[in-house]
Amino acid sequence: MKALFGRAWSRVSVVAAGAALALVGTAAPAPAVVGGHDITVEEAPYMATLLHFETLRCGAAVIDRTTLVTAGHCVDGVMKQFAQARVGATLREDDGTLLPIKRFSLHASYHKGASIDYDIAAIKLAEPLTFSAKVQPVALPKQDETAPVGAVGQFSGFGRTSEGGPVPKQLQQADLPVLPAETCEKAYGDGFTPRMLCAGTLDGSKGACQQDSGGPLVVDGKLVGISSWGLGCARKGLPGVYTKVSYFSEWIDSVRSL
């Protein structure tokens, strides 16, 4: 596999072209939304972002007053003293509220190989959030509560709107259907594991792209997926790969209480 957006593996943006996360070169995550449309954060108040050295690194999701969840590769190698979380932002820059980070909890089995497996992390904030119309937690699925194939989820992010293309000034959202696991198994072989969810369009019209890594895929008000990896951005026949949140619900509960 090839390097994902931004890094050897970078996360994907939501581009209106197929929900493929970027794996370019080696297994890497891709961040940004292809085929998306402008929204305000009130339409996705659980949306958060992770900044490193004041630069947008990844998306994340608010799950309670002191905890965000994101992709594991988003915090891998990140120094918390140089990182911040942003919530309540409709605009990519100079909007919302910045908060310091107390701790990253990276899953103990996280690793990069043929793909990025166990790709999940929790971000503990140093200060509690104040909930409002712009900042609200998203519900989590129960352990092993699988999103049905064909269900349409909303993916939000500030990632590129096309592979190698521009970044949006405003928060983007795209509707992405949950696909059969076999679709991603066919596209990615052994790189697709039971810890992963397949979602997006096969015609390359919508998907995640660079800087969308870690971003939330929400179905019926529940966080079912976290943008993890893919090959390019929304390429035909190459859907996006998301961390399957329901596989990790009990793990999330264990680390959020620390």
Tell me how far CA of residue 228 lies from CA of 132, 196, 197, 253, 256, in angstroms: 28, 9, 9, 20, 21
Residue 109 among the catalytic residues:
no
Q: What's the distance, CA 132 to chain centroid?
A: 22
The active-site residue out of 10, 13, 73, 76 is 73
Alpha carbons 61 and 64: distance in angstroms, whole number: 9
Q: Which of 10, 13, 162, 213 is catalytic?
A: 213
Query: How far from 249 is each of 75, 93, 245, CA to CA, in Å?
Result: 19, 31, 6
Contact partners, residue 180, CB within 8 Å, separation at least 6: 149, 198
| Sign, CA torsion 117/236/201/12 | positive
Annotated catalytic, 119?
yes
Active-site pick, 76, 117, 119, 212:
119
Structure tokens at 37: 């449309």
Structure tokens at 63: 């799950």
Cα 118-184-21 angle, rounded to 5 deg: 65
213 is catalytic: yes
Q: Which residues are catalytic?
A: 73, 119, 213
